[in-house]
Amino acid sequence: MISKNRKTVRIYFTIFIFSSLFFTVGCIQKTVFPAILLTVTGVTPYEVKPTLPVGSAAVTLQSVAVAIRADTQVPANLKGYSVTYQTKLGDAIPQVSVPFTPLELLLTLGGTTNITLNPYTQDVVTIFNNTNSQISPILATIHLDVKDVNGNTVTVVAHCLLHKPQ
């Protein structure tokens, strides 16, 4: 027969072991401090086709609107974005990449937020003008960095096609 004190010690020891595992394995992070889940629902326009105004040498650079839906109720802020480019064959064009650009925007809880930015830069226009090869359209990959209130950083990716100005 086990004494009452020994039974109590075993119960406390078991509780201690399970709680230690709970905190060290990371289950508490997922239940108490969840990360935001985001989905890109659209990029408008997906195919950017700028035109060269008659009698002008300057191309009007067109913006795109990226729609992001928050699938959880975790408050979050957009911290910034960067853009990378690829030819239609998949070759990277690193010389025109847009480095991280700060952009503060509060995302709508459980809703959709439209983020307007310009992946079509003057450097892309210069690449189109200075190359003899047919690289149009260029695939622009937009990396949006979001930080939620729990300290989790999430990167969401959106794409659009950039055509040569005509």
Report how far residue 156's alpha carbon sits from residue 139's, in angstroms, rounded to the nearest whole number: 16
pLDDT of residue 35: 78
Q: Which residues pair with 82 in a beta bridge?
A: 143
pLDDT at residue 80, as a whole number: 93
**Where do the domains of the chain lie?**
1-32, 34-162
- In this structure, the number of other CB atoms found within 10 A of the CB of residue 154 comes to 15
Chain segment 80-137, per-residue pLDDT in tens: 999 999 988 888 999 999 999 999 998 888 889 999 999 988 888 888 888 877 888 9
Q: How many CA atoms lie within 13 A of 128 on its CB side?
A: 19
Domain range 34-162, CATH class: mainly beta
pLDDT confidence of residue 111: 87
Whether the ω angle into residue 45 lies within 30 degrees of 0, i.e. cis, is yes
Instruction: State residue 33's pLDDT score.
Output: 58
